[in-house]
Structure 1
Amino acid sequence: MSSSHKLKVALAQIAPVWLDKSKTLVKIKQQILDASQQNCELIVFGEALLPGYPFWVANTNGAVFNSTTQKEIHRHYIQNAVQVEKGDLDEICNLAKEHNIAIYLGLMERAADRGGHSIYCSLAYINQEGSIKSMHRKLMPTYEERLTWASGDGNGLKVHPLKDFTVGGLNCWENWMPLPRAALYGMGENLHIAVWPGSEVNTKDITRFIARESRSYVISVSSLMRKSDIPKNIPHVQEILDNVPDELANGGSCIASPDGEWLIPPVLHKEGLIIATLNFNRVLEERQNFDAVGHYSRPDVTQLTVNRERQCTIKINN
C-alpha cells in the first residue's frame, strides 16, 4: 500500500501444535507467507503461541508441590521454549525482511541473560527489515501462570514506527495495568497490540475500553486451542487429555477503532487470518476532544517513571 496513513494488518488466529516449537514454527511461517500474499504490512499472533499456553496447570492440579508430573511437563515446556541467541527466530526474521512485513509474536522465551532455565511470556516485535526491536517479558504472570512463568521487566516497554503509526504491545492481563498502558501512550503509541491465549471473555470489553481511553486503534489477537491440538508425545499426555475440555480457547480476535467502536468484532472458533485496513487519520480525529498524554493531561500534577533496564541476577564488571 502506497499511502503512509493506511496500514493493512492481519490477525493470525491459529492453534499451536501444542508444546512443539518446531511444528508450531511451521504454522507461523505459513501464516506470514499467506499474509504477505495479501499485501499485509503487519501480522500479529496470540500470547504464548510459540509453543503454546500452559493449559495443563489448571487442569492437572498444577499447584501440588514437588510433583513428578508437573516437573516433567515443565521440563518439556522449557525444552520447547524459544532461545533467541541460538537462532530460533532467524527464519521468522528473514521472512519479515523478504516480504516487508512487521510481526508481533507471542512466545515463551528461555532467556539466556537470566541463566537459561526459567521461561518468560514474551512479546517480540520484528520490524519490516527483519530486526527484533523489542522483546517484552510479561511483567506479572496471572494466577496459575506463576507456577510456570517467571516475572519480566520493563525493558520491552517500547514503541515502534510503522508507516504513520506508532505501535506498542502488551500481554494478556498486562492490558488491565493502567501504568504500563500509560507508559506506551506517553511514548506516542496510537496502535495498541493486545495478545491473549484465546477467549472473547478477555477481549470483548478491554479492547474497546483501551481504544476509548487512548483514542488509538487496538488489535486484540487470540489463539485457538482444542483437545485435538494436543500431541501424543507430551509427558503425561493421558492425564492432560482426561482433564481438559474439548475446547480450551475459542479465539475472540478483534479490532477496535479510535472511537471505541468495533472495526471487527470478536471472531470465534474460526482459524486463519483476519484482515483489515487501518486509517491513521481516524487517530488524529479522535484526539481532537481527548488525548490522555497530550492536551488532556497534567504532568505538573501526575507523572510516571519507567525503568527499562533489563534485569539480571549478576552484573559483571570487566
Structure 2
Amino acid sequence: MTVSYPRFKAAACHTSSVFLDAEKTAEKACDLIAEAAAAGAALVVFPESFLPGFPVWAALQAPIYNHAFFRALVAEAQKPSDGAIRTIRMAARRHGLYVSLGFTEGTDASVGCIWNSNLLIGPDGAILNHHRKLVPTFYEKLVWANGDARGLRVTATDLGRIGMLICGENTNPLARYALMAQGEQVHISTYPPIWPTRPPDEDGAYDLRRAIEIRAGAHAFEAKVFNIVASGFVDAAMREAMGSVGAASLEVMDKSPRGISMVLGPASQVVGEVLSEHEGILYADIDTALCVEPKQFHDVVGYYNRFDVFRLDVDRTAREPAYFSEDVAIAEGAEDGVFDAVGDLVFAGNGAR
C-alpha cells in the first residue's frame, strides 16, 4: 500500500471581528472564505474568539465595570447550530473547503455560562471537531468557563491529520502531546489581537508576538508538523467600541504588542508571508511529506520516548451540568456528537450539543 502525503494551500486570516456582532462577523468571514477559495486555499483559519470578538476589556479595567461588555458578549454567543455559525458552515460547503473558526460558545443550560471554543468545519459544512479551551488564561477566567477534552482530538481529513489548540493551550505540554500522539500532521493555533498584562511602558509587559513565535516554533519542531497560526487584529471600530474603558486603557490597547499570523513548517521554519501590523490573508503551501524526515531525528510519540517510564491518560468525558436517566440508552457507546452538513444534531454522545 502506497502512503499518500497530501499537499494543499492554507490561508490564515489575520483579521478583525465586527466587534460584538456575530451576524456581521459571519458575513465578513464568508467574504474572506470566498477570497481564500478564489486564491486556491483548501483550509481557511480564523483567529481566537473571532465570532464575535475577543473580550480584551477584562485586561483593561476592574470587573465591576465590565458587566455591559459581558452581557453584550453573552448575547452574541453561538451554539454550533446557531445562525451565524450556520452561515459560515454554508460558506465552507459552497466553496468546498475546510474552515477553522474561533468563537464564543453559549449553551441552553445557562444564560450566562460561555466558553472559548473552536470548530473544524468540513467542505460539506459538517462539524468535524468541536473544542473548548481547557483553561481560560489569566483574566479570561472572568469571562469564559473551563472546557473539557471532548475535542482534544486529531481529525483525519484529505488534507492530513488536523489538530487545533487555542492560544495559551499551545503552552500546555500535555495538551500538545495528546495531539502529537494521535498522529497530528497539521496544527492550528489561534490567538487574540492583543493580550495586555501591564502598561506597555513597564518592565515585564507581555510581548504577544514573541510568545506566539516561541510557542508555534516549539510545537512545529517537537511534533514535526505544519503549524498554521491565525491572530486577531484591532481595527478602528473595535477601538471605538472600547471607548468607555477610558483614555488610560485605550493607551494600553494602542501600545500593547500585536499578535502575529504565520505558517511554520516541521523544522520550525516560516513558510510564506507573515502578518502582524496589517489586516489580511496570508497563504502558504503545505506538503505533509515534509513531516516524515524530521521524525527520524526526534519522534516523541515513537522511538524517541520511554513509554515504560512515562504515561499520559486523557479523559474525554464531556462535562455536563446533569445527566438524565432517559438519555443513558441514547448516549451509551458514543464518543462524539455527529452533525449533518447543515448543522442539525443527528446523534448526541457524551453530552455533545
Q: What TM-score do the two structures reach when normalised by structure 2?
A: 0.82
Distance in 2, matches of 1:78 and 1:249, equals 27
Distance in 2, matches of 1:91 and 1:72, equals 27
Paired residue for 1:281, among 289, 312, 318? 289
* Structure 2 equivalent of residue 110 of structure 1: 106
Q: Are 2:115 and 1:120 aligned?
A: yes
Contact 2:273 2:283 in 1 (8 A): no
Identity %: 29
Contact 1:46 1:106 in 2 (8 A): yes
Contact 1:195 1:220 in 2 (8 A): yes
Distance in 1, matches of 2:119 and 2:247, equals 30
* Structure 2 equivalent of residue 177 of structure 1: 172
* Structure 2 equivalent of residue 243 of structure 1: 249
What letter is aligned with 1:312? E
CA spacing shift, 1:85–1:263, aligned 2, 3 Å: closer
Displacement after TM superposition at 1:72 (Å): 2.0
The answer to which of 28-37 and 246-255 deviates more is 246-255
Residue by residue, what CA displacement relative to the aligned partner does 1:220-277 show, whole Å, maximum 9, x if unpaired? 1101114543455x7xx43356622336663310111111122246422121110111
The answer to which of 78-87 and 299-308 deviates more is 78-87
- Number of aligned residue pairs: 307
Contact 1:226 1:248 in 2 (8 A): no
Contact 1:204 1:266 in 2 (8 A): no
Contact 2:263 2:270 in 1 (8 A): yes
What letter is aligned with 1:52? G
Residue by residue, what CA displacement relative to the aligned partner does 1:96-137 show, whole Å, maximum 9, x if unpaired? 11211101111100123x434211000111012211122111
CA spacing shift, 1:129–1:56, aligned 2, 3 Å: same
Alpha-carbon RMSD = 1.9
3-state SS in 1 of match to 2:34: helix
Distance in 2, matches of 1:292 and 1:196, equals 26
Q: Are 2:265 and 1:257 aligned?
A: yes
3-state SS in 2 of match to 1:40: coil
Displacement after TM superposition at 1:291 (Å): 1.1
- Unaligned ranges ≥5, structure 2: 194-207, 327-353
* Structure 2 equivalent of residue 20 of structure 1: 21
* Structure 2 equivalent of residue 74 of structure 1: 70
Distance in 1, matches of 2:222 and 2:279, equals 30
What letter is aligned with 2:157? L
Q: What TM-score do the two structures reach when normalised by structure 1?
A: 0.90
Displacement after TM superposition at 1:95 (Å): 1.4
**Between Structure 1 and Structure 2, which shows a larger proportion of strand residues?**
1
- Unaligned ranges ≥5, structure 1: none
What letter is aligned with 1:311? R
